[in-house]
Amino acid sequence: MNLTGIIGYTITPFTENNNVDFKQLETVIDTLLDAKVDAIAALGSAGEAAYLSEDEWESVASHTVSYVAGKVPVVVGIAELTTAQAVKRAKYAHKIGADVVMLSPFSYYKLNEDEIFLHYKSVSDATPLPIMIYNNPATCGVDMSPQFMLKMVDGIENARWIKESTGDIQRMHKIYKLSKGSVPFFNGCNHMALEALNAGAVGWCTIAPCLIGDQPKQLFDAIKNSNNEKARELFYQQYEFLEFIVQSGLAAAVKAGMSAQGIQVGHPRKPLLPLTPLKQEKLKSMLIDLGCFS
Amino acid sequence: MNLTGIIGYTITPFTENNNVDFKQLETVIDTLLDAKVDAIAALGSAGEAAYLSEDEWESVASHTVSYVAGKVPVVVGIAELTTAQAVKRAKYAHKIGADVVMLSPFSYYKLNEDEIFLHYKSVSDATPLPIMIYNNPATCGVDMSPQFMLKMVDGIENARWIKESTGDIQRMHKIYKLSKGSVPFFNGCNHMALEALNAGAVGWCTIAPCLIGDQPKQLFDAIKNSNNEKARELFYQQYEFLEFIVQSGLAAAVKAGMSAQGIQVGHPRKPLLPLTPLKQEKLKSMLIDLGCFS
Amino acid sequence: MNLTGIIGYTITPFTENNNVDFKQLETVIDTLLDAKVDAIAALGSAGEAAYLSEDEWESVASHTVSYVAGKVPVVVGIAELTTAQAVKRAKYAHKIGADVVMLSPFSYYKLNEDEIFLHYKSVSDATPLPIMIYNNPATCGVDMSPQFMLKMVDGIENARWIKESTGDIQRMHKIYKLSKGSVPFFNGCNHMALEALNAGAVGWCTIAPCLIGDQPKQLFDAIKNSNNEKARELFYQQYEFLEFIVQSGLAAAVKAGMSAQGIQVGHPRKPLLPLTPLKQEKLKSMLIDLGCFS
Amino acid sequence: MNLTGIIGYTITPFTENNNVDFKQLETVIDTLLDAKVDAIAALGSAGEAAYLSEDEWESVASHTVSYVAGKVPVVVGIAELTTAQAVKRAKYAHKIGADVVMLSPFSYYKLNEDEIFLHYKSVSDATPLPIMIYNNPATCGVDMSPQFMLKMVDGIENARWIKESTGDIQRMHKIYKLSKGSVPFFNGCNHMALEALNAGAVGWCTIAPCLIGDQPKQLFDAIKNSNNEKARELFYQQYEFLEFIVQSGLAAAVKAGMSAQGIQVGHPRKPLLPLTPLKQEKLKSMLIDLGCFS
């Protein structure tokens, strides 16, 4: 599988009774497909995976795979505290026909490199699914250097891609340079998309298409087509919006935005709170400026 | 209840089959009581709470309360991702007769202050148990300022103590100064015990008595008795050991140490790994120097 | 004046007796002109301005202006601890016919924004020379936000450009977005050139042409011509070299490189030390790879 | 010489014409002696040394030594960018009869350890004066580890004391532990005085006695006499004031305070600005609370 382009992330809609709303999950998936994403990822941080029960997690994963029905590849995010749980989830993802596991070393204790390596290796040994190594110290509590992630790509059979979300463009330069361009990496920091793609990222993992349609895809295409002026223009159009959703919390921001657009997806789970009215207004005005609010 | 002095933390022993070893948990508790601790805390970070199933967590909590049997107060640590789970655990702690809940805002997303406040308030509203606010951004992923924690003590009924584990002594000065000394706080950073207690901390939350007996209690007493020279001497005797167990991971370090001392408590759960042989040797030599290895 | 493109920086050559070597300064200037730079900057950090006496500083400035003789604009760097000295140097720069003052708020104490604003305003009021605001907290000890620098461009008559050297690409996005693209900014962080120019920087301030000729200019042109593939290729060719000279200290690295290339420019002034033999070898091998060593 | 206790720092008073006011410098020195300081230090950061001409610097140094006239030892601060200048200043300090040189590696470029070592060694070789190694990355731009400073004490003949101003108490624990208590160190971070002295600091370098008399000395004595309760009380009385003068800039804050107390010492030199009226009021109210304003 040649994973590239825009990987669109789903949020997990809830009903008023705080149950997963599978019907609206389908709407979210349709929204992403309409936005021309090249793959769909479920149960990332924006999908509130950490706040679901194991049953809910499994249902969301399987429902996503079956509803996407092979139109594009499906990535399933796994961020479990214990290796045993991570392995269990990966096996489930494989059983239901997911295409890729996105694995991050969620930690309570800071993990050392030996511990992280074995964690990834155990998941790799458990299924044939290819693995995207996901580095996001802001949510996962542990940071992995480019050197170490490349070592994992080299030494762990199914580790194939890197998703870099530290916000430090030098990490991407290091990945590209140290691997002589041979290890594909994705941008995981929304408001860094322009430089990441210029630096050689093969794609961009983002929740943004849930709200602004194919504008991320247009930006991706402009850079691939060497249309620098258009790329810069598209990027700065989206810039404040991209920074806003990151800083406001992706789940809360995207849920507020979709509801404002008329797709009721409920609130994030506590302790997460909905956007304040002030922030809702700010988001709405940005969506209007981007032509995504009628 | 007037909580003060040394709050000794338990590790959670595992059998060879990776089940909780309740018999050895009793040995750990006896070790702490022999070390003259003023209270016992279960299911803190050193107790691998994050790596237990809900059933295991409940069993450890109830077994600890019943085995301590009122000899000293029992604190139960709660660090759950969702507010619903935190409330459920607090109710359980109350049901089994625990004395104090130590609550930290474990997060995947960075939480804002409104979210944290409501999280604490929900737990406070659920039971009459007094709450220790526990700030440890290194494990929990979210940092709370002295000003904010004092606001919670002020506005949330059962919030009574603060445990500060950032390692920044200025935080304690701020707590003391802003509350005019009225809000009791605990030191949660082992290798900062000397200055924390001098700065007005009412006690020290520590796993160290599992390995070095009443030496932390001796240090506490020396400071309370204004015996500065002795306090400095005791602190520097323990300093490298205290820094070592923090930097090596408390659960792995203490389990290695107890096993070396002849109390088999098993290994930490994966992805956590046991200490390397080199570190085991280092720990052993420090325990010998401290007179805790025969 | 429409400053854009590559601004090439000079080092300050010393004789064996540790005096300024004006003859070799001419060679350095010729090297930059051969490298097709669009402007020449003297007395930046790489020019060891901080380590020159006032007399030496003035001689280097006037010699540079007269030798360049209008072929390209000349920028003079000013980084003085007192406002009085900064004003004096700016007046001198104006007197000798320099075109631009690059001004940074070198500090011992951390300066607040009122202090920095008045410092810049005093220099602006002293001469009609246009000013480049230079932000480099790593050398100058004080950091200026995009918002504050834009406020200075707005409120201080001669302030016209910004040179951003923090290494944080988000700063450039903020400058571009907040000024609606109206305030020209330069990249001042060598190993960030690719993303800075893609983000809208009008040019790149760099010492690199002293050693690798017009390769920085080629990179600049490739981006302006929307030749993304070539830009990426050129950038990664230079990347390790650019990072190396920054991390080794620009003056020491460039002096070692030029001497290796046969242009004897002496050593940096103490406490700065020449590159170690190991680093000299590393630099030489990189220059060979870049085709700049025969 | 056995340097210990409170080392009181002078500010450098200016006349209305912005010249050094030597008569008021004598008043400052008298103020320190009345405050029972154990030594006097001139030309530290609070003395605006970085903003004086070489002539002024020499005059302040010699005037201080002659006016103190052996009542207590005199420390002279040296923070020069070039090694040559630092050596020249040290020779001057020796010639006029100063007792100690306090040397910091003021930098434009980040210096590496070899460069710093040679800088200190050159100064040490130039005079027989004992040297206090002064680590203050916030002003000097370079940070020295405890390990490295101890290496300098070990390998450089006249290096005898360390003044630690990072604000990180762990640095002091490291100095004490690694040197087995044999290398005397001073606290250089005002609002950390309580823990520094408890951690084994032999003294406290501070400008505070200029404004609050012998209260720092009282705090020092309380700790040395193992009167912990009194020490804590004294520390928290001074705490906000100590933090305030650090955060407002020592020179500006102390000059504002002395002028408010009736001793006209002028303003700091530009770009430094006087305290704002709001901050002057805040300072005045703190001085009233401390009984230092009538």
What's the CATH code of the domain at A153?
Answer: 3.20.20.70
CA distance B272 to chain A (A): 6
- Is the pLDDT at A294 greater than 80? The verdict is no
Percent of chain B beyond pLDDT 70?
100
pLDDT confidence of residue B188 = 98
Nearest residue, CB atoms, A109 vs list B83, B84, B139:
B139
Q: Does D182 touch chain B (CB under 8 A)?
A: no
Angle at which helices B277-289 and B250-260 pack, to 10 degrees? 70
pLDDT in tens, A127-180: 999 999 999 999 999 999 999 999 999 999 999 999 999 999 999 999 999 999
CA distance linking residue C90 with residue D257, whole number of Å:
34
Per-residue confidence at B18, pLDDT binned at 50, 70, 90?
very high
Are B167 and B143 within 8 A, CB to CB? no
The residue among C171, C173, C194 with the most chain A CBs within 10 A of its CB, best to mutate, is: C173
Q: Provide the domain limits for residue B71.
A: 5-228
On chain C, the residues whose CB falls within 8 A of the CB of D273 are 112, 114-115, 118
| In a domain? residue B85 | yes
Contact B127, B94 (CB under 8 A): yes
Read off the DSSP letter of residue D208: T
Distance CA C79, CA C108 (A): 12
Q: What are the pLDDT digits (tens) for B89-142?
A: 999 999 999 999 999 999 888 899 999 999 999 999 999 999 999 999 999 899
A258 within domain boundaries: no
Task: Give phi and psi for C173, each to the nearest 5.
Answer: -60, -40
Q: Which H helix or E strand runs over D93?
A: helix D83-95
B with A: touching (≥3 Cβ pairs within 8 Å): yes
Interchain proximity C169–A177, CB inside 8 Å: no
Residue D109 has pLDDT above 90, yes or no: no
B229 has a chain A CB within 8 A of its CB: no
- Say yes or no for a CB contact (<8 Å) between C105 and D271: yes
Q: Model confidence at A109, in pLDDT bands (50, 70, 90)?
A: confident
For A244, the 3-state DSSP assignment is: helix
Band of the pLDDT at B57, cuts 50, 70, 90?
A: very high
Nearest to B142 by CA among B172, B163, B113: B113
Give me the percent of chain C exceeding a pLDDT of 70.
100
A36-75, pLDDT tens digit by residue? 999 999 999 999 999 999 999 999 999 999 999 999 999 9
For residue A108, the model assigns a pLDDT of: 85
How many beta carbons lie within 10 A of that of residue C79, not counting itself?
A: 23
- pLDDT 10s digits, D84-100: 999 999 999 999 999 99
Question: Mean per-residue pLDDT for D128-139?
Answer: 96
Per-residue pLDDT at D294 exceeds 80: no
pLDDT above 90 (res D108): no
Contact flag C109-D251 (C-beta cutoff 8 Å): yes
Whether the pLDDT of residue B294 is over 90: the answer is no
pLDDT at D44 over 90: yes
Does C98 fall in a domain?
yes
User: Residue C163 — φ and ψ, nearest 5°?
Assistant: -110, 115
Q: How many Å apart are CA C283 and CA B179, to the nearest integer? A: 58
Is the ipTM of this structure higher than 0.85?
A: yes
Instruction: Tell me how close the Cα of A177 comes to any Cα of chain C, in angstroms.
Output: 7
Going from the C-alpha of D84 to that of each of C12, D79, D152, D271, the distances in angstroms are 18, 12, 19, 26
Is pLDDT above 80 for D2? Answer: yes
Which residues of chain A have a CB within 8 Å of the CB of B110?
138-139, 249
Q: What does the block give as tokens for B271?
A: 């992805």
Residues C225, C16: Cα–Cα separation, whole Å: 45
Q: Note whether A167 contacts C: Cβ–Cβ < 8 A.
A: yes
Picking from D84, D141, D270, the nearest residue to C141 by CB comes out as: D141
Chain D hits for B198, CB-CB cut-off 8 Å, are 194-195, 198, 228, 231-232
Helices (H), D183-290: 193-198, 209-212, 215-224, 228-248, 250-260, 277-289
Cβ–Cβ contacts within 10 Å for residue D106, how many? 28
For testing contact with chain D, the best of C81, C143, C152, C255 (most D CBs within 10 A): C81
> For residue D187, what pLDDT is reported?
98
Mean pLDDT of chain B: 97
Residue in chain B closest to D228 (alpha carbons) equals B226
pLDDT tens string C222-262: 999 999 999 999 999 999 999 999 999 999 999 999 999 99
> Is it the case that chain C and chain B have 3 or more CB pairs lying under 8 Å apart?
no
The verdict on B116 touching A (C-beta cutoff 8 Å) is: yes
D294 to chain C, closest Cα gap in Å: 31
Q: Is A274 exposed, middle or buried (0-12, 13-18, 19+ CB in 10 A)?
A: middle
Residue B85 to residues A79, A182, B126: CA-CA distances in angstroms? 18, 44, 12
Q: What is the 3-state secondary structure (H, E, C) of chain C?
A: CCCCEEEEECCCCECCCCCECHHHHHHHHHHHHHCCCCEEEECCHHHCHHHCCHHHHHHHHHHHHHHHCCCCCEEEEECCCCHHHHHHHHHHHHHCCCCEEEECCCCCCCCCHHHHHHHHHHHHHHCCCCEEEEECHHHHCCCCCHHHHHHHHHHCCCEEEEEECCCCHHHHHHHHHHCCCCCCEEECCHHHHHHHHHCCCCEEEECCHHHHCCHHHHHHHHHHCCCHHHHHHHHHHHHHHHHHHHHHCHHHHHHHHHHHCCCCCCCCCCCCCCCCHHHHHHHHHHHHHCCCCC
Sequence-distant (≥ 6) Cβ neighbours of residue C49 within 8 angstroms? C12, C43, C57, C77, C79
A134 is catalytic: yes
Put simply, whether B289 touches D (Cβ < 8 Å) is: no
Residue C217 lies in a domain: yes
Cα D174 from Cα B220, distance rounded (Å) = 21
Of D177, D181, D232, which is closest to B198 when you measure between CB atoms? D232
- Contact at 8 Å (CB) between B43 and B76? yes
Does the beta carbon of D17 lie under 8 angstroms from any beta carbon of chain C? Answer: no
Q: Is D28 part of any domain? A: yes
Within-domain flag for D42: yes
Main-chain dihedrals φ then ψ at residue A292, nearest 5 degrees: -115, 30
Determine which one of A134, A176, A217, A255 is catalytic. A134
pLDDT digits (tens, 9 = 90+) for A9-35: 999 999 999 999 999 999 999 999 999
Interface probe, candidates A108, A119, A144, chain B, greatest B C-beta count within 10 A: A108
C167 touches chain A (CB under 8 A): yes
On the question of pLDDT at C109 being above 90, the answer is no
What the block records as the tokens of D154 is 């070990």
Does residue D225 form part of some domain?
A: yes
Tokens standing for residue B180: 């005019």
Put simply, the chain C residues between 268 and 287 with a CB less than 8 A from any chain D CB are: 269-273
Residue A230 belongs to some domain of the structure: yes
pLDDT band for A107, please (50, 70, 90 cuts): confident
Point out the catalytic residue in the list D9, D36, D92, D163: D163
What chain B residue is nearest to D237 in terms of C-alpha separation?
B177
Tell whether A227 is within 8 A of chain C (Cβ).
yes
pTM of the complete model: 0.96
* Mean pLDDT of all residues in D236-241: 98
Q: What is the pLDDT of residues B184-219, one digit of tens each?
A: 999 999 999 999 999 999 999 999 999 999 999 999
Q: Which residues contact B181 (CB under 8 A, 6 or more apart)?
A: B200, D236
Range of lowest pLDDT (A99-113, B145-159, C187-201, D173-187): A99-113
Largest CA distance in chain B: 52
pLDDT of residue B107: 87
What total number of domains does chain B contain? 1
**C-alpha–C-alpha distance, residues A257 and A213, integer Å:** 12
Place of tokens 């392995």: A87
Residue A17: phi and psi, rounded to 5, are -90, 10
